[in-house]
Copies of this chain bind each other. A is one copy, B any other.
Amino acid sequence: MMNPHNSPPSRGRRRLLGRLAAGGLVASQAATASELLKPLAVAQSSRVPGAPVLEHPYGVPSPYEANVVRRSARAWPLPGAASSMTPLADLHGTLTPNGLVYERHHGGVPDIDPGQHRLAIHGLVRTPKLFTMDDLLRLPSESRIHFLECSGNTGNEWNGPSGMPVQLTHGLLSCCEWTGVRLSTLLEEVGGLTASGNTAGGGWLLAEGADAAAMTRSLPLERILDRALVVYAQNGERLRPENGYPLRLIVPGFEGNTNVKWLRRLKVVDAPLQTREETSKYTSLLANGTARQFAFEMDAKSVITRPSPGHRLTTHGYYPITGLAWSGRGTIRKVEVSTDGGATWRPARLDGAILDRALTRFQADWRWDGGAAVILSRATDSTGYVQPTRAELVAARGLNSQYHYNAIQQWRVDASGEVRNA
């Protein structure tokens, strides 16, 4: 099936760019244009032989990109129960390279020999089984692109603008192509499903990791059976150690911690087991004193990644505003952008394929006139849900929550060109 993001540009799109071009998108290099009528000087890099092939059998980024790395927002007392964040401001497109996928560990990164690793599937099933990695590789596989977001992402904005750059406010967010076996295929293997594909006995699934935290969550089977994968590869290669090597669960759209890493056990049960990570943690205390539990889906959200805090606009003129939008409940239907603090909004272009529960790149044309501006983005997903303002979110959830902060994020552009989270 032909995908829209690979189709030729419409004449309309061409005309749009044509009109922009008439004004000149790029600040003129006219002083040097006459030089271009003479032969170009030979590049210094053409005068010397370059580095040989296979200098790095497994390649690494350019030394000029050494600042594009994962970072933590703070020093954690227990570095094995900490997180690091994806440098969203320096990334392009929609995929996250494996070296920059965010980390969140509860007991550090275990060292697991894939030859020794086993996945146990038991509980309310006909034939409990142990699966080796080789067993899993001999099952039909499936690959899909999905985002992962920690439910604590952007939690530092609950009390208003934190002053932090987008890597530290929104960087518990990544997007990869995941490859593995459908959860439903595995449950069929152990007799946990009926012939019609429904759950046979139990309505919930306990997933447990082989890390020092034995990270454990209960998941509602009927809601995830159509899409959950038990995966061994990300972006084409085997999982990275900090992302669950050799095996993890992917529950598209659900908060990050439910995508249990270093997966060693799936138990079919009839009710949630009320584990630590779904009682004292990963629940949200509301204003009325009750707690919101099992809020699995990450609601629709968006953020402008460029320009964003740390960037500085230089010459006046054309700047594209670009960022990411996503929803744990489906696809992104629309992203709107404002450059006047939310007084007026206009639609952004959505770039590339718009995939279910995956990051979507948006872009809007903007001419910076050199004045102060406040830039914002607002996502609407395929269910019709609209990303809320901070005031709307606080009205609904109060200020006790640590999790599921998805309000519209604003960046201030000063007349100096500096961009700030304020």
Contact = CB atoms under 8 A, between A and B. Distances in A.
Oligomeric state, in number of copies? 2
B59 A98 contact: yes
B237 A139 contact: no
A3 B47 CA distance: 48
B45 A212 contact: yes
A235 interface: yes
Interface in A1-27: 1-9, 11, 14-15, 17-18, 20-21, 24-27
A343 interface: no
B351 A141 contact: yes
A81 to B, nearest CB: 8
Given A109-B55, A184-B17, A357 B46 contact: no
A420 B398 CA distance: 64
A21 B189 contact: yes
Contacts of A132: 29
A135 B26 CA distance: 6
A111 B45 contact: yes
Nearest to A106: B50
B357 A6 contact: yes
A395 interface: no
Contacts of A233: 91-93
A37 to B, nearest CB: 7
Interface in A241-283: 241-242, 245-246, 252, 262, 264-265
User: Which interface residue of A7, A18, A42, A93 has the most chain B CB atoms within 10 A?
Assistant: A93
The secondary structure that dominates the A interface is loop
A72 B54 CA distance: 8
Interface in A184-205: 184-185, 188-189, 193, 195-197
Given A94-B236, A95-B177, A112-B45, A50 B80 contact: yes
Given A32-B130, A57-B84, 16 more contacts: A1-B354, A6-B358, A9-B184, A17-B182, A20-B140, A46-B213, A49-B108, A50-B110, A51-B111, A51-B242, A52-B109, A62-B239, A90-B237, A91-B236, A138-B319, A141-B351
Which 9 A-B residue pairs are closest in the complex by CB-CB distance?
A50-B108, A6-B356, A52-B79, A45-B110, A93-B143, A92-B233, A57-B69, A36-B128, A92-B179
14 contacts: A45-B111, A46-B213, A46-B214, A49-B80, A50-B212, A52-B79, A53-B83, A59-B100, A64-B114, A64-B246, A92-B179, A97-B237, A138-B320, A143-B352
